[in-house]
Homo-oligomer: A and B are copies of this chain.
Amino acid sequence: MSAGWFRRRFLPGGPLPAPRPPRPRSSPVPYRRPRFLRGSGSGPGTADAPRRPDVRPVRSPARGRALPWNAGYAEIINAEKSEFNEDQAACGQLCIRRCEFGAEEDQEWLTSCPEEFLTGHYWALFDGHGGPAAAILAANTLHSCLRRQLEAVVEGMVATQPPMHLSGHSICPSDPQFVEEKGIRAEDLVIGALESAFQECDEVIGRELEASGQVGGCTALVAVSLQGKLYVANAGDSRAILVRKDEVRPLSSEFTPETERQRIQQLAFVYPELLAGEFTRLEFPRRLKGDDLGQKVLFRDHHMRGWSYKCVEKSDLKYPLIHGQGRQARLLGTLAVSRGLGDHQLKVLDTNIQLKPFLLSVPQVTVLDVDQLELQEEDVVVMATDGLWDVLSNEQVARLVRSFLPGNREDPHRFSELAQMLIHSTQGKDDGLTEEGQVSYDDISVFVIPLHSQGQRSSGH
B-contacting residues of A (Cβ < 8 Å)? Answer: 101, 149, 152-153, 156, 162-167, 169, 171-172, 174-175, 178-179, 181-182, 184, 187-196, 199, 270-271, 285-286, 289, 291-292, 295-298, 300, 303-309, 325-326, 360, 362, 364-365
Q: A181 to B199: give the CA distance in the assembly, Å.
A: 35
List, in ascending order, chain B residues with CB within 8 A of A309's CB: 152-153, 156, 166
Q: A162 to B101: give the CA distance in the assembly, Å.
A: 62
Are the CB atoms of A305 and B191 closer together than 8 Å?
yes
CB distance from A157 to the nearest CB of B (A): 11
List, in ascending order, chain B residues with CB within 8 A of A174's CB: 286
List, in ascending order, chain B residues with CB within 8 A of A286's CB: 164, 172, 174-175, 178
Which one of A167, A169, A303, A307 has the highest number of Cβ atoms from chain B below 10 Å of its Cβ?
Answer: A307
Are the CB atoms of A304 and B171 closer together than 8 Å?
no
Are the CB atoms of B165 and A297 closer together than 8 Å?
yes
Q: A182 to B300: give the CA distance in the assembly, Å.
A: 12
Q: A175 to B328: give the CA distance in the assembly, Å.
A: 17
Are the CB atoms of B295 and A165 closer together than 8 Å?
yes
Are the CB atoms of B182 and A289 closer together than 8 Å?
no
Are the CB atoms of B182 and A306 closer together than 8 Å?
no
Top 7 nearest A-B pairs by Cβ distance?
A191-B306, A192-B306, A166-B296, A192-B308, A178-B285, A178-B286, A188-B307
Are the CB atoms of A184 and B289 closer together than 8 Å?
no
List, in ascending order, chain B residues with CB within 8 A of A193's CB: 306, 308
Are the CB atoms of A295 and B167 closer together than 8 Å?
yes
Are the CB atoms of B190 and A325 closer together than 8 Å?
no
Q: A174 to B271: give the CA distance in the assembly, Å.
A: 34
Are the CB atoms of B164 and A308 closer together than 8 Å?
no
Are the CB atoms of A184 and B307 closer together than 8 Å?
yes
Copy number of this protein in the oligomer? 2
Are the CB atoms of A325 and B181 closer together than 8 Å?
yes
Which one of A178, A286, A326 has the highest number of Cβ atoms from chain B below 10 Å of its Cβ?
Answer: A286
CB distance from A245 to the nearest CB of B (A): 27
Could you pull out 21 A-B pairs where Cβ atoms are within 8 angstroms? Answer: A153-B309, A162-B298, A163-B298, A164-B298, A165-B295, A165-B297, A166-B309, A167-B296, A171-B291, A172-B289, A178-B286, A178-B325, A179-B298, A181-B325, A181-B326, A184-B285, A184-B307, A188-B306, A191-B304, A191-B306, A192-B300
Are the CB atoms of B304 and A196 closer together than 8 Å?
yes
List, in ascending order, chain B residues with CB within 8 A of A182's CB: 285, 325
Q: A184 to B286: give the CA distance in the assembly, Å.
A: 12
List, in ascending order, chain B residues with CB within 8 A of A364's CB: 305
Find the B residue at minimum CB distance from A267.
B270
Are the CB atoms of B196 and A308 closer together than 8 Å?
yes
Are the CB atoms of B190 and A306 closer together than 8 Å?
yes
Q: A303 to B362: give the CA distance in the assembly, Å.
A: 7
Q: A410 to B331: give the CA distance in the assembly, Å.
A: 60
List, in ascending order, chain B residues with CB within 8 A of A298's CB: 156, 162-164, 179, 184
Are the CB atoms of B292 and A171 closer together than 8 Å?
yes
- Contacts A174-B286, A184-B307 known; list 19 others, CB within 8 Å: A162-B298, A164-B286, A165-B295, A166-B297, A171-B289, A171-B295, A172-B286, A175-B286, A178-B285, A178-B325, A179-B285, A181-B325, A191-B304, A191-B306, A193-B308, A194-B306, A195-B303, A303-B362, A305-B364
List, in ascending order, chain B residues with CB within 8 A of A171's CB: 289, 291-292, 295
Q: A178 to B326: give the CA distance in the assembly, Å.
A: 12
